Amino acid sequence: MNSGGMPTQADFHEAISTRSDRWYSACLKITRNPDLAADAVQDALLNAWNKRHQFEQTARLDTWIHRIAINAALNLIRKSKPGMFSAFEADYESDDVTPHQAWEEHELECDLAQALARLTEVERVCFVLKHLEQWRAREIAEELGLNEGQVKQAVHRAVKKLRISMHHMKVENYD
């Protein structure tokens, strides 16, 4: 990237060429919808371009766009499913599944992507943001309009469900 100025058109092209797979992939993990993921990256790029004078020289352009893309993806699922993150209580009750039931439900699952798809929206988004995007619980809570405790619970439940899936897969592999 050019030194001492805001990112140039060439910097953006370079970032797209080298990192757009990661942005798209991250958005896809959040939205689980290729069209929404594509729109999120598109929105993020235009947003980043229009606000490039706000870009801090100490940061990396691709990381900055990545963060904007995640926010755009969250906005898009919020728009496509209004009230999704506010319906946390109802979502929490769905955790009453026993490990045995979960085991049975996951019988046909063969990889982690499918296991991730089995999580509720809130669990998946919280898990992706916390563990894959390495956001702090406080940041996730602020972005999703939840409190930190709810975020931690969602992540905990996500991990629990994924562990069951993983265990199941391991058993299958041994067979």
Catalog residues that contact other proteins under the rule CB under 8 A: 9, 12-13, 16-17, 20-25, 28-29, 38, 41-42, 45-46, 49-50, 112-113, 116, 128, 131-132, 159, 162-163, 166
CB 119 within 8 A of CB 100: no
Helix, strand, coil percentages in the chain from 3-state DSSP, rounded to 5: 75, 0, 25
Cα 134 from chain centre: 10
Instruction: Give least dist CB 83 to other proteins, A.
Output: 27
CB-wise, 42 or 57, nearer to other proteins? 42
Instruction: Give least dist CB 28 to other proteins, A.
Output: 5
CB 134 within 8 A of CB 123: no
CB-wise, 11 or 86, nearer to other proteins? 11
Instruction: Give least dist CB 105 to other proteins, A.
Output: 18
- For residues 87 and 106, give the distance between their C-alpha atoms in angstroms, rounded to a whole number: 25
Instruction: Give least dist CB 77 to other proteins, A.
Output: 17
CB-wise, 3 or 50, nearer to other proteins? 50
- For residues 175 and 168, give the distance between their C-alpha atoms in angstroms, rounded to a whole number: 11
Instruction: Give least dist CB 59 to other proteins, A.
Output: 19
CA separation, residue 138 to residues 21, 117, 130 (Å): 27, 24, 10
CB-wise, 35 or 56, nearer to other proteins? 35
- For residues 131 and 126, give the distance between their C-alpha atoms in angstroms, rounded to a whole number: 8
CB-wise, 82 or 170, nearer to other proteins? 170
